[in-house]
A and B are shown apart, each in its own frame.
Chain A
Amino acid sequence: MVGPGKPVDTERFFVIGVNNLGSCFGSTGPASLNPATGKPWGADFPIVTVEDWVDAQARLADYLGIERFAAVMGGSLGGMQALSWAIRYPARIANALVIAAAPNLSAQNIAFNEVARAAILTDPEFHDGRYYDYGVKPVRGLRVARMIGHITYISDEQMAEKFGRQLRDGLNFSFAPEFQIESYLRYQGEKFSEYYDANTYLRITKALDYYDPASATGGSLSRALAPAQCRFLVISFTTDWRFSPARAREIVRALVENRRDVSYAEILAPHGHDAFLLDTPQYHAIVRSYLGRAAG
C-alpha cells in the first residue's frame, strides 16, 4: 500500500506513520519507564482515547512543522482516527481516507472486546497490570484475547475456505488441537502473546469502545461531522462483519447530510475485516486513483 509507485506513493507524498500513544511499538506506553519511579508505568498508564491519539499526532505535526496534511488515512481504529482528525483539526487536513471503520462500536463489538479483556484481567499473572514487577506476562490471557480477536477479523466464508473442518491428523478424542482452525487460532494467540503488551491491549480496546463522536452532539453523527471541511474517501469490505459496510454507510450518510465531498467504495472481498490489510486490486486501485487526484 505504501512505497515508491504504490497506491500511497512515496515518490509523491512524504508519509508519516505514527504509533499510538500507549502502544508497545515505539510511542510511550504502559511498558515504558515512568521517570518519577524508574519503573514501568504499568497500571498507572492512563487510559487514552482516540481523541488523545489524534491530539498527540497534531502536536507531533506542530513539532515537525507540518501545518496541513495532504491526507490522513487509516484502517479500522486508524479510520476512526482519520475521522477524528477531520472533526478536530478541519483546517489541517485536505483529505481523510476512512477505511474499514465505524462511527462507533456496536454492542457486539464491545462484547468481543470485553471477553478479550476478561481473559487478560483474570490471568493470575496479570497482577493488576503490575506484571512487569513480577517478571511475568499474562500470556494465557493475551492468547485467548487474540484468539477471540482473530475470529472477528475473518469472515465465516474465509474461515470455511481456509480451514473448513480439516483435521491435522485425524480425531483423537482429546482437547489437543485437532481441527486446523484450532491450531491456527492457538498459533496466532501464541505468536501475539510473545510480542504484545497486555496493558496496551486493554487500553486499545477501551479506546475503541469509547470512540463515539456523536455522543457530543446528542447522538447525531451528522452534527458531529459538521466541523469537517476536507474531502473524504470511505471504504468498506463486503464480508467485514466487525465494521460492516452498513456502519461505513452511516459515515457516508452523515457526510452527505453535511454536503461534504465524499466518495464511497464497497470492496468485494472475502477476507472479512482483515481485507483492509490485504491487497485486493480494486481496493488498491481506488486508493491510488483517489490519492493521485489529491496530489494534483
Chain B
Amino acid sequence: MTISTRADFSTIAGWIAPGARVLDLGCGDGSLLAYLRESRSATGYGIEIDDAGVLASIGNSINVIQSDLESGLAGFEDRSFDSVILSQTLQSMRRIESIVAEMLRVGREAIISFPNFGHWSHRLQVLRGRMPVSPSLPYQWFNTPNIHLCTVADFDAFCAEQRFRVDERVVLHDARRVVLLPNLLGSLAIYRFRSS
C-alpha cells in the first residue's frame, strides 16, 4: 500500500507534538495518521465510514474505527486527545456546528482543513455563470459530495462567532503558503483552534 500525502499533511504535522495522541476524522486510507506516526511518533485512531477506506487503513496498520461522523464521537471521552483533525472532510459534512463542538470536546485542539471556495479561479467561474471545478474542487455540481463549501473569510467569521481561539491559520496554493490575499490566492486553508 503506498501512502499518499496531501498538501496539508506537512503543515498539520508541524503542529503535532512528538508522541501526541491524535484522532483523525474521515481518515480515508489512513495516510495522514501514517504520516504523523512516521514524522511525529503520533498515536491514536482514525474514523472512517467507507468500507474501502477502513480496509486500506488496516492495510496501512492504522487503528481505524468504522463509524459515521454525523452521529458524533460518543465513543470518545472528553479531552482524550491532544489534537482532533478533520482534513478536507468538513465540506462534505451535514452538521458542521455539532461536529466541531464534538472535536473540541474530545480534543484539546481542533485542526480543520478545507478547500477555499474564495480562490480567484472559483470566483471567476461563478462570475461566468458556472459552478466552479478546479484541482481543489474536482467535481461537477451534480456529483459533488461537497455540501458546505466556504471561504477563508467565512471560516474566520465562524470562528469569531463561536468564540474559538484560532492559534494558527495557514492558507496554501500548490503546496506553497499564501500570505498575501489568502482568500483570493489560496486554494486550501488549514486552521488550528481551541475553545476560548
Contacts and interface: CB of A to CB of B under 8 A. Distances in A.
Interface in B39-60: 43, 45, 51, 54-55, 57-59
A261 B63 contact: yes
Contact of B66 (A256, A257, A265): A265
Contacts of A282: 51, 55
A286 B75 contact: no
Contact of B75 (A252, A265, A266): A252
Contact of A257 (B58, B64, B77): B77
Given A249-B75, A253-B75, A256-B75, A285 B55 contact: yes
B61 interface: yes
By Cβ-Cβ distance, the 5 closest A-B pairs, closest first, are A253-B75, A264-B65, A289-B59, A266-B66, A289-B58
Given A249-B75, A268-B51, A286 B65 contact: no
Interface in B64-91: 64-67, 75-77, 80
Contacts of A256: 45, 65, 75-76, 80
A interface: dominant SS: helix
A262 B75 contact: no
Interface string B19-55: 0010000000000000000000001010000010011
B55 A263 contact: no
A287 to B, nearest CB: 9
Contacts of B75: 249, 252-253, 256
A247 to B, nearest CB: 13
B interface: dominant SS: mixed
A252 B65 contact: yes
A179 interface: no
A206 B67 CA distance: 33
A285 B51 CA distance: 10
A235 to B, nearest CB: 9
Nearest to A250: B75
A249 B73 CA distance: 12
A268 B55 CA distance: 13
Contacts of A69: none
Contacts, number: 52
Interface residues of B, number: 20
Nearest to B30: A263
Contacts of A257: 77, 80
Nearest to A260: B63
Given A286-B55, A293-B59, A263 B76 contact: no
Contacts of A268: 51
A262 B58 contact: no
A292 B60 CA distance: 11
A282 B52 CA distance: 9
Given A249-B67, A262-B45, A264-B67, 10 more contacts: A253-B75, A256-B65, A263-B62, A263-B63, A264-B64, A264-B66, A265-B58, A286-B55, A292-B59, A293-B61
Contact of B63 (A262, A285, A286, A292): A262
A253 B76 CA distance: 7
A266 B66 CA distance: 6
A259 B57 CA distance: 18
A132 interface: no
Interface string A244-258: 000001001100110
A89 interface: no
A288 to B, nearest CB: 9
A210 interface: no
A289 B66 contact: no
Contacts of A45: none
Interface in B87-135: none
B78 to A, nearest CB: 12
Contacts of B54: 263, 265, 286
A285 B57 CA distance: 12
Most buried by A among B51, B57, B64: B51
Contacts of A265: 54-55, 58, 66
B51 A263 contact: no
A290 interface: yes
A293 B51 CA distance: 18
Nearest to B77: A257
A256 B21 CA distance: 12
B77 A263 contact: no
Contact of B58 (A249, A259, A293): A293
Contacts of B55: 265, 282, 285-286, 289
B76 A290 contact: no
13 contacts: A249-B67, A249-B75, A252-B65, A256-B76, A257-B80, A259-B43, A263-B57, A264-B66, A265-B66, A286-B55, A289-B55, A289-B58, A290-B58
